[in-house]
């Protein structure tokens, strides 16, 4: 199986946005390899610590918000009949 780690990283970063607390911190209960790659890309601070959350950089906050919208926010407008909003 050829896993698309770039896609995993995007979704993990988007989900970090879902878990934001204290402005720029998120719970780090995600795959360690993905967290390490996001750190290497400059989106999060070093995830290796005793803390249960990880800090997002300014760039990481912007990108996390963009990806969260891309993957999880429905477009505005009327919803098709029979579909939950």
Question: Does the model's pTM come out above 0.75?
Answer: no
Within a domain: 83: no
Within a domain: 75: no
Domains: count for the chain = 1
Within a domain: 55: no
Range of the structural domain that residue 16 is part of: 1-50
User: What is the dihedral sign for C-alpha 84, 64, 67, 41?
Assistant: negative
- Which pLDDT belongs to residue 46? 94
Residues of the chain under the 50 pLDDT cut: none
Structure token digits, residue 45: 């601070």
Within a domain: 59: no
């Amino acid at each position: 199986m050829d896993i698309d780690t770039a896609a995993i990283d995007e979704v993990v970063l988007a989900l970090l946005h879902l878990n934001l607390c204290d402005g720029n911190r998120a719970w780090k209960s995600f795959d360690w390899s993905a967290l390490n790659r996001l750190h290497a890309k400059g989106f999060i601070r070093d995830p290796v610590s005793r803390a249960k959350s990880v800090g997002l950089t300014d760039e990481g906050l912007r990108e996390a918000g963009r990806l969260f919208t891309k993957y999880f926010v429905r477009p505005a407008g009327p919803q098709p009949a029979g579909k939950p909003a």
